[in-house]
Structure 1
Amino acid sequence: MELRIPPPVQVALSIALMAGIGRVAPPPGVELPWLTALLATGALAFLFAPAVGFSRARTTVDPIHPERAERLVTSGLFRVSRNPMYVGMAMLLGAVAAWDFAWGHLAVIAAFVWWMTRFQIIPEERALEARFGEEYRAYRASVRRWL
């Protein structure tokens, strides 16, 4: 893998950056509690349902070592996104942004999505293609990377 920083740590660093932005550029007073609740609920679903799917399939959830995957999981949320857990992480950042909104938070979310795609997802895709071959190529062709 090109990136050895676990994705949850990257989310925590992004949240810390968002908190710093909120101190430097105070929020404009926009409160979106309904959006915070919606995104946080969606984030929990997108984070935990796939983990349960990995557990049921008896395969690894370790994003640093996708080459250790025993099975390709394509059911549940994996039918709508090849990376539902990363979607959940982005939704969690969206919930943080909606809770204490500052315009710079949107840049952090965009940077997180780009960073994860470039340094985590693309290397994972290479490892999964090497491990599962045509089965993964067919899956990749039928399901979007994010949503």
Structure 2
Amino acid sequence: MNAYRARPLTYPWPPLLYVAAILGAVALGRVQPISVSHSHGWVPWLAGAVLIVVAVFMDVWAVKTLIERRTAVLPHRCSSHLVTCGPFRYTRNPIYLGYTIMTVGFGLITLNPWFFIMASASVAVTTAFAVRNEERHLLSRFGFEFERYCRATSRWI
């Protein structure tokens, strides 16, 4: 495969997948609610808010790192550099991890267990259809350097 023709995705759909997961969790919470104990009052809300702040920070940090390294931010563009610094030192997919953490945070704030289910489903679908394609793209572009990075850094956490 020609490394310069390899593209990770046809269009940038992972953010849309997470938006659909959040909307699906809201809809399922209204149609088929799962009862949750409210005994801890503000604790789940505070934990959810902290997770959302962490997720936004992680996403902004990852995008800033990609821009500073002058490589593609959108998942349907070809990468010009392998980025292994910033949040990419800890996870190969900090933006998607941020989306997942944010979805869980919304679940804690709303006390809607469907958010946890949808976050898990989003991780599975994103891994199967987006992450693996992106990894093939990076392998075709960066070869051994990307393999070494994969051995040193986990895919999610």
TM-score by length of 1: 0.91
Kindly report which structure 2 residues correspond to 1:89-100, keeping only aligned pairs within 5 A, or say none.
89-100=99-110
User: Which residue, 87, 90, 102 being the options, matches 2:97?
Assistant: 87
Q: Specify the structure having the higher radius of gyration (Cα).
A: 2
Deviation of 1:69 after TM superposition, in Å, equals 0.8
CA RMSD of aligned residues (A): 1.6
Please tell me the residue identity of whatever aligns with 2:18: V
> Does structure 1 retain, via aligned residues, the 8 Å contact 2:91–2:156?
yes
Deviation of 1:3 after TM superposition, in Å, equals 6.3
Please tell me the residue identity of whatever aligns with 1:135: E
Please tell me the residue identity of whatever aligns with 2:136: R
The alignment status of 1:9 with 2:21, answered yes or no, reads no
TM-score by length of 2: 0.86
Deviation of 1:138 after TM superposition, in Å, equals 0.4
Q: What secondary structure sits across from 1:69 in the alignment? A: coil
Deviation of 1:28 after TM superposition, in Å, equals 2.6
Deviation of 1:125 after TM superposition, in Å, equals 0.3
Cα gap change, 1:90/1:2 in structure 2, threshold over 3 Å: closer, same or farther? same
> Does structure 2 retain, via aligned residues, the 8 Å contact 1:21–1:105?
no
Q: Tell me the equivalent position of 1:28.
A: 36
Query: More helix by proportion, 1 or 2?
Result: 1
User: Which residue, 57, 66, 73 being the options, matches 1:45?
Assistant: 57
Instruction: Quote the Cα distance in structure 2 between the aligned partners of 1:83 and 1:124.
Output: 10
User: Which residue, 128, 132, 135 being the options, matches 2:142?
Assistant: 132
Please tell me the residue identity of whatever aligns with 2:22: I
- Identity rate, percent: 28
Segments of 5+ residues of structure 2 without an aligned counterpart are 1-7
Kindly report which structure 2 residues correspond to 1:53-68, keeping only aligned pairs within 5 A, or say none.
53-65=65-77, 68=78
Deviation of 1:46 after TM superposition, in Å, equals 1.5
Deviation track 1:37-95 (CA, whole Å, cap 9, x = no partner) reads 11101111111101000110111011123xx1111110011111000001000011011
Instruction: Quote the Cα distance in structure 1 between the aligned partners of 2:112 and 2:62.
Output: 30
Segments of 5+ residues of structure 1 without an aligned counterpart are none
Hey, which bits of structure 1, 4+ residues long, moved more than 3 A?
1-5
Please tell me the residue identity of whatever aligns with 2:14: P
Deviation of 1:8 after TM superposition, in Å, equals 1.6
Cα gap change, 1:23/1:3 in structure 2, threshold over 3 Å: closer, same or farther? farther
